[in-house]
Structure 1
């Protein structure tokens, strides 16, 4: 899952980024309003960590931009401001949560998992499609109650498909979601075919009722 940190304090950004990457998240970064807006326009995220006080604008105004674009990316406001008015303003505009600085990293992780669970998993701790059952908390996949061993990228790909089954996913969308925003500079996305092929073989060998269908010239969908 991919997180965007919009934060102008390098030390805090580094601490949060290193922590979340250790928890198997892909982490992208913007240090101000303008670069944050550019990333939000260009990419999608599983969660956005948004500071209110940015060098060239207000995080509250950036939140308004997100909602005006009808983006569905969950937003957690991170700010040294801890007044009731700030919390109410952010939540009324559409933030999913609010965490005051300083905060414990364990609490931040819990908040991130909570908003992702609400937005992506309909509030459920596990998600299922056909006879595939995924436990995101422990990054486990079960097929017919037997664990399917996947590497990190295979798991990330399968999770991304299962939360939106039977929807055609473009190769560029898959690449950015699983490998990070920088992948849009790659000369070729052929590596996605190899990943899908390997994952498809593992699903078949485990008697999965789901399979990948290639949509010519676009991408793939889980059926």
Structure 2
């Protein structure tokens, strides 16, 4: 899952990012209003953690932009403001939750998981497609009752394709979602092919009832033969 943290306090940002990465999320950051606008305009995220008070503008205007552009990100407002008016305004603009600073990191993780379950997994802790089952909390995959052993990137690719089942996912979108900001360091996207190749073999060897289809030069799609 890919998360954008929009926060201008360096210590708070660092704590949030490090703890979320330990939970195996792909995490990107924005330190101010304009940087946040650029990120949400260029990329898609599963969840956005949004401060209201930002250098250059208001987090509530970020929410407006998400709504205006029909973006589907789950949004949790994370702000030192704890007034009822701010909370109501954020929720009316489409935020999924509101978390007032200071907070315990464990509560942040619980809120993020709750939003992801509602937005991506229809409220369930598990995702099931045919004989394939994924547990996003434990980062585990099973085919029938047999656990499928995947490396981190293979799992991230499979989860992204599963949550976009039926849709063609471009190589660029897949790379940006799974590798995040680190994708800028890559010379090309050829490394995705090796991850897809290994993932396909593991699905086939374990008799999964789904396959990863490809359209040459464009991208990939999870299909049921």
Q: Same fold by TM (over 0.5)? A: yes
Q: TM-score, normalised to structure 1's length?
A: 0.97
Greater mean deviation of Cα atoms: 121-130 or 183-192: 183-192
CA distance in 1, matches of 2:61, 2:207: 49
Q: Is the Cα–Cα contact under 8 Å of residues 43 and 181 in structure 1 kept in the other structure?
A: no
**Unmatched 5+ residue regions in structure 2?**
none
Q: In structure 2, what is the Cα distance between the partners aligned to 1:185 and 1:66?
A: 28
Structure 2 Cα separation of the partners of residues 26 and 157 of structure 1:
12
Aligned to 1:60: 60
Offset at residue 170 of structure 1 (A): 0.2
Runs of 4+ residues deviating >4 angstroms: none
Match of 1:70 in 2: 70
Which position in structure 1 is the counterpart of 2:218? 218
Which residue is 1:160 aligned to? 160
Aligned residue for 1:117? Answer: 117
Does the 8 Å CA contact 1:53/1:59 hold for their aligned counterparts? Answer: yes
**C-alpha contact 1:129 1:165 (8 A) present in aligned 2:** no
Deviations 1:116-170 (A, max 9, x none): 1111111111111121001111111010111111111111111111112221110
Partner-residue secondary structure (3-state), 2:161: helix
1:118 counterpart SS class: helix
Q: 2:42 aligns to what?
A: 42
More displaced 10-residue stretch of structure 1: 212-221 or 37-46: 212-221
1:168-210 CA-partner distances (Å, limit 9, x unpaired) = 1100000001001341563311111110000001111111111
SS of equivalent to 1:180: helix
The secondary structure found in structure 1 opposite 2:118 is helix
2:91 counterpart of 1:91: yes
Residue 171 of structure 1 corresponds to 171
Aligned length: 223
- Return the alpha-carbon distance in structure 1 between the equivalents of residues 201 and 74 of structure 2: 33
**Which region of structure 1 is more displaced relative to structure 2, 20-29 or 185-194?**
185-194
For residues 71 and 56 of structure 1, the distance between their equivalents in structure 2, rounded to whole angstroms, comes to: 22
Q: Verify the 8 A CA contact 1:37 1:62 in the aligned structure 2.
A: yes
1:24 aligned counterpart, secondary structure: coil
Structure 1 unmatched ranges of 5 or more = none
Aligned counterparts of 2:166 and 2:51: Cα–Cα separation in 1: 36
The whole-number CA distance in structure 1 between the counterparts of 2:199 and 2:65 is 38
Partners of 1:126 and 1:31 lie apart in 2 by 33
Q: Counterpart of 2:190? A: 190
Q: CA RMSD in A?
A: 1.0
